[in-house]
Structure 1
Amino acid sequence: MTLKVIEIENVKGIKKYSFNLDILPNKPSILVAPNGFGKSSFAAAFNLLQANGLVLSGYSLYKNDTANRPRLFIKYQKPDNTIVDLEADESINTIKDQFDCFVINSQIDAKGTGVNYGSEMTINPVILIDEIPEKVKFQYSFKSQQKIFGLNNKVLPNIKFLLSNSKLIKKINENITILTNALESQIQRKISEFVNEVNQESGTSSNLIEWIERNKIDSLNNIDCLSDLAQILYEFNFFNLKAEYFLAGIQIINLYNDSISDFEKACKYKIYELDKENYKSTLKAFNSTWRDIRIKESGKQLIVEFPEFHYISNGERDILTFVALLQQAKRRLKKHSNILVIDEVFDYLDDASLIAVQYYITQFIEEYSMTGRRIYPLILTHLNPDYFRNFTFSKQKIYYLDRRELKVNQHLVKLLINREHPSIQDDVSKYLFHFHTSCINKRLEFRALSLKETWGEGYNFDGFIDTEMRKYLNRKADYDPFAVCCTIRKRIEKLIYGKIVDMNSKTIFLDTHTTSKKLDFAESIGVIVPEAYYLLGIIYNDGMHWKKGQDNVSQIAAKLENLTIRYLIKDVFAQ
């Protein structure tokens, strides 16, 4: 049940890229990539899927060139473990055979023409419901139902209030086959026999209800469909006695039989009213602006209309459009397997709003899981959750789209994994992973842990990481990113150490734990520390730890390949 591969060709900024992911259903998948990588192109490929193919206009094609034909390919492992290849291009779409797809992204649109294009920004309305159903009400008449029932019709409860309950009507509509099957002759005969028996009794309405309660409940429970319908009504706690639920159920079956078409239309409109109120309350809970975020009927559609662009903050805009689009997604994603792509809408939310939208995604996933369906939420972001606590789902899995082929020296991996072993912990941290004027000899301890024995002597380890740094500075493709990170840290500490004059302060500097605290100490005694030394902390700190069960290489390699970071590192080694 995994999305094994997603491949995209000729969509916006992507010429051709194959993502090997193995994404599991019903858990949030965080897809991380730096700005400029092509996350929006990834989302666009899904957003432009239509029933008959992948329909892209000129501006959505790679390099805006109509000769570049678009394609979206998915390799999918089905629940029976068979693997199918699905694809969409301009003429076919086999993806729809397995998946419904929906994209949540920014609704900002640039207006203007010619040189003035982009001078005005607007927030597009979100369509919650494509077509508002016909306004049809239930044609329920208590008097008509009494006439159908017969002599003892006083036993019937008036169910007009019940038919105004939108949640009940939605439940009945979800189980509409109960009413369809209830019209079968055998079931109708049993209901008629029960009605005839009631009409042969005498007494007040209370007497008749009590008689049914004492004598007929077991036989009513054995009438298929009627008992199922009574059970649905019972969940809503409308009446005091079981007999009343069966009598209400008989009236609903009669009402359905009078006009199946009108009954089903009335159900659809009642559900529409329920959805509309739910949309209103949900958006109201998130609307912290002083402007109205309006849900309104426009033509045959129900839409969310936003205020003018400059009247709403980025965070408010993002959360409100997310909530509105998530409601739309619920209506669109109907298959057993569904893909929901969320394109960077969380990256600028405050903590409280972020928690709220993650709650809604969790609830969204649970709804699908509880009904035996599968949802694949693909959340695109440039913020790495390992460093920014922007995503805190309990079952989230992180994927790095910008995967690099750099390979870490396995001796170094083993050292990073064992760095906290009591026999080497203090010495490895102090003398190998940080700058120090002294050298250690831990060959025996390294041998006992099956580590590279020669690295137990610091100058051998320094020789290895220095070689890898030269590869990096000379733009060789086979450098070890973790060794580079270690060399950066030691170089920065060495440069600052060289600026400290007092010998006692030098000793304190060497004995201080963590690079940031070393730099803080140096500044406290008057040493000027370039800001770049602190900024590079996200590089040299990342590369000194190995986290099991995740891609440790891609995230660091992507940072090292950033042009600005390359410049900062080159400047450090030019001093």
Structure 2
Amino acid sequence: MIRSISIENVRGIKNQTFSLDIIPNKPSLLVAPNGFGKSSLAAAFSALRTKRMELPKEQHHLGDESLAPKLAVTVKQGAQTFTVTADGNSNAIAGTFDVHVVTSRLRAKATKHNMGKFTTATASLEISELVLVQTVPLKVQHVYDVTAMRGRFGVSGKAFRNLDKALGNPTLADGLIDLFGLMDKVEGVRIQNDIRAMTELLQAQTGTGDDIRAWADGALRLRLEAISAVREIADLLTSAIAPEQGRIDALLSGLQVALLYLHDKKTFKDACKYLSYVNEKESFEDIIKAFGATWKKVRPVERKGSLVVSFPSAMHISNGQRDSLCFAAELRKIERSVSLRDAILVIDEVFDYLDDANLVAVQYYITKLIKKVRENQRSVYPLILTHLNPYYFKNFAFADQKIYFLKKSKPAINKDFRALVGKRKDPSIEKDVSRHYLHYDPASVEIKAKFTALGLREAWGDSAAFQAHTEAEWDKYVNESDNYDPFAVCCYVRVRIEKIVHDAIPDAARKTEFLDTLMTKNKLDFAVTNGIDVDDTLYLLGIIYNEGMHVHENVDDSSPIVSKLENRTIRHMLIESVAG
């Protein structure tokens, strides 16, 4: 796992360590409010180059180039823990991880217009070009002659299938590239001797092609299986080209491919690389078609030796389509570059502004990437930077997502308060707790025996004592103490707002009906229908005070609430509203 990430002198971060314990091959959502430094974290990883960090001047802390940037990643592997770092002089991170950073491609552009005696400028938004393949390989074809290949085996050559069409398959080329190392080993003396011996046996056979294949299935199959390259190529041919073919057919074809490779390695490799590129280009075209962007002339094109995709003006393509399409294309690019190292994928400013449908789409592509990396027996750490709390947004739908709050807050839920909220639905106390603890009622109740039986704080069995506790926590919050209970503050605000509205109702019968109404919003609605002027702010603050009435097991519930409570505007709204 990644134990921690430390950053120095990058944008708004002077020196900060994020203790995370990030588990590999699971989507990790790193949550923090806007302005906290999520983009600084992304910028630090974006600055990594092969040999050093190269941070643009404007992204140095305080814009001061004398403040040297540094990035450190602490990793735990089994019982071993170690730290790899990168700075302006070196990059040890590159020896452990491949790093990819995906951000929004939307950029502001200023265009100057010379009007003779004066110059004007107009601003517009444009989407930066996405380079899919940096260098398009030369167009090279396999030099395969089935007649010449069969001639090596005499009359028995008829048993070998024609691979001309198969070798032109781009999907096969991807797999063959991974087998270059194995095919090199076919040059070994032992394997070459075995191939010569099998060739002599084949040359001595007679009969039809089917007869010879049947003989080879009994006499040569195990020997061919013992040659790793032949076996792996046979498996690849079966899965990518002809799943219905017999095993001996696949093995004899595997032998052909290995011999073709040894005959001219350079041409074979170049042909595979070009076909792999064709496959890559087709996959990008498929992605773009899936997002329905072809009518806007968004398509991969070869330009100056690279494969790129250009976008129309931002006003001519929807934000969701643009961001999700770019994201899918970049993840496909990353998927095809999986190496022998583990990977860190940092995703910044992509998830936060997508609609439900596009958010589901990009999550699909992350899931595919994780699956691909696992198949290669490697690990990937997808770090999704967001200001949204995923607990409250159903469209974050990963099956096993992990959530980390970057901004750790000193204020935290009191353990007794957590226990009370956790057991609020117990039948023995549910009605009393709802009416006299978590909502406003001028009367108090005394249920200490029930609290004791449930292991709750006995003193709070008197609802007046509990209300006194929440008021004391509110006073800490107002005085800007750093040890208040955010849940108690939320509870106090909700109860206080209900009291203010309750007291504004002049009729005693309607006051009672107000108290009998369930849920704060319904109480406010009831007051409005009875002629009470309820400020819209009291409704709006429901987003804040209702959040403190829910807890999750083994989760940092405090940080997301505190991030809202500490917002200066929210603080002002709360204090003003509670004052009545």
Q: Quick one: which amino acid aligns to residue 185 of structure 2? A: N
Q: Is the 8 A contact 1:110 1:118 kept in 2?
A: no
Q: Is the 8 A contact 2:229 2:258 kept in 1?
A: no
Worse-superposed segment, 551-560 or 81-90: 81-90
Alignment of 1:73-472 (within 5 A): 73-78=72-77, 80-112=78-110, 119-213=123-217, 215-222=219-226, 225-235=229-239, 236-237=241-242, 240-288=245-293, 290-472=295-477
Distance 1:48 1:224, change over 3 A: closer
1:190 aligns to what SS in structure 2? helix
Q: Quick one: which amino acid aligns to residue 148 of structure 1? A: R
Deviations 1:268-311 (A, max 9, x none): 11111111111111221123574121101122221121112221
Q: Quick one: which amino acid aligns to residue 413 of structure 2? A: V
Q: Quick one: which amino acid aligns to residue 195 of structure 1? A: T
Distance in structure 1 (CA, Å) of the matches to 2:331 and 2:49: 19
2:496 is aligned with 1:498 = no
Distance in structure 2 (CA, Å) of the matches to 1:305 and 1:14: 33
Worse-superposed segment, 336-345 or 140-149: 140-149
Distance in structure 2 (CA, Å) of the matches to 1:423 and 1:209: 79
1:50 aligns to what SS in structure 2? coil
Q: CA deviation at 1:238?
A: 6.5
1:379 aligns to what SS in structure 2? strand
Q: Is the 8 A contact 1:289 1:316 kept in 2?
A: no
The structure 1 residue matched to 2:531, chosen from 516, 526, 530, is: 526
2:557 is aligned with 1:574 = no
Q: Is the 8 A contact 2:161 2:249 kept in 1?
A: yes
Distance in structure 2 (CA, Å) of the matches to 1:232 and 1:345: 36
Q: Is the 8 A contact 1:23 1:376 kept in 2?
A: yes
Q: Look up the match of 1:541.
A: 546
Q: CA deviation at 1:550?
A: 0.6
Q: Quick one: which amino acid aligns to residue 408 of structure 2? A: R
Q: CA deviation at 1:440?
A: 0.6
Distance in structure 2 (CA, Å) of the matches to 1:73 and 1:214: 58
Q: Look up the match of 2:115.
A: none
Distance 1:124 1:223, change over 3 A: closer
Distance 1:549 1:132, change over 3 A: same
Q: Look up the match of 1:481.
A: 486
Worse-superposed segment, 510-519 or 227-236: 227-236
Distance in structure 1 (CA, Å) of the matches to 2:338 and 2:145: 38
Q: Look up the match of 1:513.
A: 518
Q: Look up the match of 2:116.
A: none
Q: Quick one: which amino acid aligns to residue 149 of structure 1? A: F
Q: CA deviation at 1:62?
A: 1.6
Q: Quick one: which amino acid aligns to residue 332 of structure 2? A: Q
Q: Quick one: which amino acid aligns to residue 35 of structure 1? A: N
Worse-superposed segment, 548-557 or 3-12: 3-12
Q: Is the 8 A contact 2:108 2:124 kept in 1?
A: yes
Deviations 1:333-375 (A, max 9, x none): 5243211000020222221221121111112112212322111
Deviations 1:248-278 (A, max 9, x none): 2332222112111111111111111111111
Question: Considering only aligned residues, what root-mean-square deviation do their CA atoms show, in Å?
Answer: 2.2
Q: Quick one: which amino acid aligns to residue 31 of structure 1? A: L
Distance 1:173 1:52, change over 3 A: closer
Deviations 1:62-89 (A, max 9, x none): 22122322121222112x2211122222
Distance in structure 2 (CA, Å) of the matches to 1:69 and 1:225: 49
Distance in structure 1 (CA, Å) of the matches to 2:319 and 2:156: 65
Distance 1:201 1:446, change over 3 A: closer
Distance 1:547 1:163, change over 3 A: same
2:343 aligns to what SS in structure 1? strand
Q: Is the 8 A contact 2:335 2:373 kept in 1?
A: no
Aligned length: 573
Distance 1:366 1:234, change over 3 A: closer
Q: Look up the match of 1:22.
A: 21
Distance 1:156 1:303, change over 3 A: same
Q: CA deviation at 1:560?
A: 0.4
Worse-superposed segment, 503-512 or 413-422: 413-422
Q: CA deviation at 1:545?
A: 2.3
Q: Is the 8 A contact 2:238 2:245 kept in 1?
A: no
Q: Is the 8 A contact 1:127 1:328 kept in 2?
A: no
2:79 is aligned with 1:72 = no
The structure 1 residue matched to 2:556, chosen from 544, 551, 556, is: 551
2:533 aligns to what SS in structure 1? coil
Percent identity between the aligned chains?
39
Distance in structure 2 (CA, Å) of the matches to 1:116 and 1:493: 56
Q: CA deviation at 1:521?
A: 1.6
Worse-superposed segment, 380-389 or 228-237: 228-237
Q: CA deviation at 1:103?
A: 0.5
2:381 aligns to what SS in structure 1? strand
Worse-superposed segment, 352-361 or 450-459: 450-459
Distance 1:170 1:487, change over 3 A: same
* TM-score normalised to structure 2 length: 0.93
2:255 aligns to what SS in structure 1? helix
Q: Look up the match of 2:2.
A: 3
Q: CA deviation at 1:118?
A: 8.0
Distance 1:205 1:358, change over 3 A: same
Distance in structure 2 (CA, Å) of the matches to 1:384 and 1:73: 26
Q: CA deviation at 1:222?
A: 4.8
Q: Look up the match of 1:56.
A: 55
Distance in structure 2 (CA, Å) of the matches to 1:88 and 1:554: 30
Q: Quick one: which amino acid aligns to residue 166 of structure 1? A: P
* TM-score normalised to structure 1 length: 0.94
2:352 aligns to what SS in structure 1? coil
Q: CA deviation at 1:184?
A: 2.4
Deviations 1:405-452 (A, max 9, x none): 113333222222222222212101110111101111112222333322
2:389 aligns to what SS in structure 1? coil
Q: CA deviation at 1:94?
A: 1.8
Distance in structure 2 (CA, Å) of the matches to 1:331 and 1:172: 14
